[in-house]
C-alpha cells in the first residue's frame, strides 16, 4: 500500500485568519485516497500556527509608510512551519508520494519554494492541486517544472483517473479509467486531525461543505472553475450524520460552513435548519457561515429558523451598497433596496451579531459610495467587514481588466493586502484610506456600544 503525505503549506502575508484555516480541501483529498486504498497522513503546516516576522518585501515597499499607522497591518510575517521544518518532517515520514494544496495565487511563491526544497532533498513525486492549481495549471507547470503533476479540479474527479493512469491503483481500488467518485457520498476525513488543535474560543470546531457549485456570475469570483456553475447539495441527512459523528466522537460544538452560496436553494436550507433545530443529539451546537451568506435568499422566517438552529453570528456578503455596482458585477440582489436594511433590522431584533462584508475597489465604486454605505451600516448597528478587491485567476475581472504587467503577471499581487488594483475612481492611497477609515469607525462604534451597555 502506498503512503501519501498531504501538505497544507505555510503562507506569508501581513495577517491570516487562524479560525478559518481548517484544511477542508485536503480532508476531501484524504477521503478520496483512503477510499482508493491508500494510507494517508496530513501535515498541516498552519496548525499550531507559528509566526515569524519577515522584512517587508521590496515589491510591497509602497506600504511601508502605512505600517506604523493605527488600524493598519504591522509586520509582514511567515505563518506556519518553515520550509526547513517541513523538509525535515518529510525526512522522518518518508512517504511514497507528496500532495500539496495550492489554493491561493498569492501564496504560490511559498509552495514553489517548498517544492524546490523537497525535490533537492528527496526523490519523492510531488503533486499539486486546489483552486490555484486548477485555474493556472499550465502556468504553474511552466514556472515550477520540479512539480511532477499539477492536477485540476475536485480531487473526487481528478485523482482517480490520475492514479489509474499512473498504474498506482490496485485492483481492489476498483475504478475504471475516467471514473470519478461522488463527493456527496464521501465525508472529509476529519478523523485525521487532532480535534484539540482546531478550536474557536473554548469550542472544538470544524469546517464543512453542504453544497458545491454556483450558477451566479460575480465578476470577481473564480470558484466555478473548480466546482462548476450548477449547485449541488448533499442530502440533509448526510450533512447531519457528519455533524453528529463529529459532535459525539470529536467533541465538535461549532460547525462552520464554507459553501460558496449555501442559501441559493431556500428549500434545502429550510429543511436543513429545521432538522438541526430538532436534533437532540446536536444540542448546544453553534453554526457559522463565515464565508458569508448572500442576503437575496434570506428573509424573516429564515432568520428565525437560523436562531433556533444555533446561529449567533451572521456574516452577510453585500459587496457594495450601490445597486448599480452590484448589478455591474452580476451580484444577485433583491429589487427593493429597503429589504436589505429590513433584514438587518430583523436580525438585530433576534439578537444576531452581524458583520456585513464590502469589497473596496471594484471598478465603478467610488469613495463617496463606500463612505455612505459604511455610515449607513454602522447606523444600522452592524460591523463592517472591508475586503480590499484582489484578483482571482480566471475570474471575469482578472481576464478583462487592463492592468500593468507587474500587477497582472505577479501572483504575489493577488492578495487584498497588496492594495494592488487601482481603478479610474480609486487609487491605492484611496483604498488604504478607506480601509483604515472603516476599521476606525468599527472600533469607535464598538467602544460607543460598550459605553452604552455599561453605563
Ligand atoms: C476557507 C477559505 C479561506 C480560509 C483558509 C482556508 C485554508 N484552509 O487555507 C481563509 C479565510 C484564511 C482564507 C483566506 C484568504 N483567501 Co480564501 N477561501 C476559502 C474558501 C471560501 C473555501 C476553501 C474551502 O475549504 N473549500 C472547500 C474545499 C473542499 O475545496 P478546495 O479547497 O477547492 O478543495 C477541492 C479541490 O480544489 C481539490 N484539491 C484541493 N487541494 C488539493 C490537493 C491536491 C493534491 C489535489 C489533487 C486536489 C486538491 O479537491 C478538493 C475537493 O474537491 C475558498 C473558496 C472556495 N470555494 O474554495 C476561498 C479561496 C480559496 N480564497 C481565496 C483567496 C484569494 C484568499 C485570500 C488570499 C484573499 C485575501 N484576503 O487576499 C485570503 C488570505 C488571507 C490570509 N492572509 O490568510 C481565493 C483563491 C483564489 C486564487 N486561486 O488565488 C478563493 C478560491 C476564493 C475566491 N474565489 O476569491 N480563505
Ligand atoms: S461570489 Fe458567491 S454568489 Fe458570486 S459567483 Fe462566486 S460563489 Fe457564486
Residue 16: give its domain's CATH number. Answer: 3.40.50.280
Residue 293 has what pLDDT?
Answer: 97
pLDDT at 424 over 60: yes
Residue 71 gets the label, from left (phi > 0), alpha (psi -120 to 50) or beta, of: left
Return d(Cα 154, Cα 157) in angstroms, integer: 6
Last residue of a domain, one of 156, 183, 210: 183
The model's pLDDT over 125-155, given as tens digits with 9 standing for 90+, comes to: 999 999 999 999 999 999 999 999 999 999 9
The model's pLDDT over 284-342, given as tens digits with 9 standing for 90+, comes to: 999 999 999 999 999 999 999 999 999 999 999 999 999 999 999 999 999 888 999 99
Percent of the chain with pLDDT strictly greater than 70: 96
How high does pLDDT run on average in the chain?
A: 95
Q: Determine if ligand 1 sits within 6 Å of the CB of residue 154.
A: yes
Return d(Cα 7, Cα 122) in angstroms, integer: 16
pLDDT at 86 over 90: yes
Residue 447 has what pLDDT?
Answer: 72
Domain range enclosing 368: 191-454
Say whether both 170 and 280 belong to one domain.
no
- Range 8-19 average pLDDT: 98
pLDDT at 455 over 70: no
- Range 102-120 average pLDDT: 98
Residue 263 has what pLDDT?
Answer: 96
Alpha helical stretches, state H, 218-259:
224-227, 236-250
Return d(Cα 287, Cα 240) in angstroms, integer: 12
Last residue of a domain, one of 157, 183, 209: 183
Return d(Cα 9, Cα 146) in angstroms, integer: 17
Residue 51 has what pLDDT?
Answer: 98
Using CB distances shorter than 6 Å, the residues near ligand 2 are 214, 216-218, 221, 223, 260-261, 294
Total domain count for the chain? 2
Give me the residues paired with residue 367 across strands. Answer: none
Say whether both 56 and 97 belong to one domain.
yes
Q: Determine if ligand 1 sits within 6 Å of the CB of residue 76.
A: no
Residue 169 has what pLDDT?
Answer: 85
Say whether both 76 and 172 belong to one domain.
yes
Helices (H) then strands (E): counts for the chain: 16, 17
Say whether both 151 and 206 belong to one domain.
no
The model's pLDDT over 354-395, given as tens digits with 9 standing for 90+, comes to: 999 999 999 999 999 999 999 999 999 999 999 999 999 999
| Closest among 7, 225, 222, 13 to 109, alpha carbons compared | 13
Residue 172 has what pLDDT?
Answer: 56
Say whether both 41 and 101 belong to one domain.
yes
Say whether both 171 and 197 belong to one domain.
no
Residue 179 has what pLDDT?
Answer: 73
Residue 1 has what pLDDT?
Answer: 61
Is the separation of the CB atoms in 5 and 43 below 8 Å?
A: yes
| Closest among 43, 46, 17 to 29, alpha carbons compared | 43
Say whether both 196 and 179 belong to one domain.
no
**Interval between CA 219 and ligand 2 midpoint (Å):** 9
* Crossing angle between the packed helical segments 300-309 and 338-349, to the nearest 10 degrees: 30
Cell of 85: 521544518
Say whether both 150 and 65 belong to one domain.
yes
| Closest among 316, 318, 407 to 365, alpha carbons compared | 318
Residue 435 has what pLDDT?
Answer: 98
Specify the 3-state DSSP secondary structure of 188. Answer: coil
Report CA-CA distances (Å) from 220 to 132, 134, 326, 362, 398: 15, 17, 11, 9, 7
Cell of 213: 457549485
Say whether both 218 and 349 belong to one domain.
yes
Dihedral, CA of residue 122, residue 124, residue 125 and residue 129, to nearest 10: -80
Domain harbouring 328, CATH code = 3.20.20.70
Which atom of ligand 2 is the closest one to the Cα of 220?
Answer: 1
Instruction: Look at ligand 1, atom 48, and give the residue with the nearest C-alpha.
Output: 129
Percent of the chain with pLDDT strictly greater than 90: 93
- Range 243-254 average pLDDT: 98
pLDDT at 407 over 70: yes
Q: Which ligand number lies closest to the CA of residue 227? A: 1
Residue 314 sits at φ, ψ, to 5 deg, of -115, 120
Last residue of a domain, one of 133, 166, 183: 183
Say whether both 118 and 201 belong to one domain.
no
Say whether both 358 and 253 belong to one domain.
yes
Say whether both 8 and 142 belong to one domain.
yes
The model's pLDDT over 48-83, given as tens digits with 9 standing for 90+, comes to: 999 999 999 999 999 999 999 999 999 999 999 999
Give Cβ neighbours of residue 57 (< 8 Å, ≥ 6 apart): 76, 412
**Banded pLDDT at 20 (limits 50, 70, 90):** very high
Amino acid at each position: 500500500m502506498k503512503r501519501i503525505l498531504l501538505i497544507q503549506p505555510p503562507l506569508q502575508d501581513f495577517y491570516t485568519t487562524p479560525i478559518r484555516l481548517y484544511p477542508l480541501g485536503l480532508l476531501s483529498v484524504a477521503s478520496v485516497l483512503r477510499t482508493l486504498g491508500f494510507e494517508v497522513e496530513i501535515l498541516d503546516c498552519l496548525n499550531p500556527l507559528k509566526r515569524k516576522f519577515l522584512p517587508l518585501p521590496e515589491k510591497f515597499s509602497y506600504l511601508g509608510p502605512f505600517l506604523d499607522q493605527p488600524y493598519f497591518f504591522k509586520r509582514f510575517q511567515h505563518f506556519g512551519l518553515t520550509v526547513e521544518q517541513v523538509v525535515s518532517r518529510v525526512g522522518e515520514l518518508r512517504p511514497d508520494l507528496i500532495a500539496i494544496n495550492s489554493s491561493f495565487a498569492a501564496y504560490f511563491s511559498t509552495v514553489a519554494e517548498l517544492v524546490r526544497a523537497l525535490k533537492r532533498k528527496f526523490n519523492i513525486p510531488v503533486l499539486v492541486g486546489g483552486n490555484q492549481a486548477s485555474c493556472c495549471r499550465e502556468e504553474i507547470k511552466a514556472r515550477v517544472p520540479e512539480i511532477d503533476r499539477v492536477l485540476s479540479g475536485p480531487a473526487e474527479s481528478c485523482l482517480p483517473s490520475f492514479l489509474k493512469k499512473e498504474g498506482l491503483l490496485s485492483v481492489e481500488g476498483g475504478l475504471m479509467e475516467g471514473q470519478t467518485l461522488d463527493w456527496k457520498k464521501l465525508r472529509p476525513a476529519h478523523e485525521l486531525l487532532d480535534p484539540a488543535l482546531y478550536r474557536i474560543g473554548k469550542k472544538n470546531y470544524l469546517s464543512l461543505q453542504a453544497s458545491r457549485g454556483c450558477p451566479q456570475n460575480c465578476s470577481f469570483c473564480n470558484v466555478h472553475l473548480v466546482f462548476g456553475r450548477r449547485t449541488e447539495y448533499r442530502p440533509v441527512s448526510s450533512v447531519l450524520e457528519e455533524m453528529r459523528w463529529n459532535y459525539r466522537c470529536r467533541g465538535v460544538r461549532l460547525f462552520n460552513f464554507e459553501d460558496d452560496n449555501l442559501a441559493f436553494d431556500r428549500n434545502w436550507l429550510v429543511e436543513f435548519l429545521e432538522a438541526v433545530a430538532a436534533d437532540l443529539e446536536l444540542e448546544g451546537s453553534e453554526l457559522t457561515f463565515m464565508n458569508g451568506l448572500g442576503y437575496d435568499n434570506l428573509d424573516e422566517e429564515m432568520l428565525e429558523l437560523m436562531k433556533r438552529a444555533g446561529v449567533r453570528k451572521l456574516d452577510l456578503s453585500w459587496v457594495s451598497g450601490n445597486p448599480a455596482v452590484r448589478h455591474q458585477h452580476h451580484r444577485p440582489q433583491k429589487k427593493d433596496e429597503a429589504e436589505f436594511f429590513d433584514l438587518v433590522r430583523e436580525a438585530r431584533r433576534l439578537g444576531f451579531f452581524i458583520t456585513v462584508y464590502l469589497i473596496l475597489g471594484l471598478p465603478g465604486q467610488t469613495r463617496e459610495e463606500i463612505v455612505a454605505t459604511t455610515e449607513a451600516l454602522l447606523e444600522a448597528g452592524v460591523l463592517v467587514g472591508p475586503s480590499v478587491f484582489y484578483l482571482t485567476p480566471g475570474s471575469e475581472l482578472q481576464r478583462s481588466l487592463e492592468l500593468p504587467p507587474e500587477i497582472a503577471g505577479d501572483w504575489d499581487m493577488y492578495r487584498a493586502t497588496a492594495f494592488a488594483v487601482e481603478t479610474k475612481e480609486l487609487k491605492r492611497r484611496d483604498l488604504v484610506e478607506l480601509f483604515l477609515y472603516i476599521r476606525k469607525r468599527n472600533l469607535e462604534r464598538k467602544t460607543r456600544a460598550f459605553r452604552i451597555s455599561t453605563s
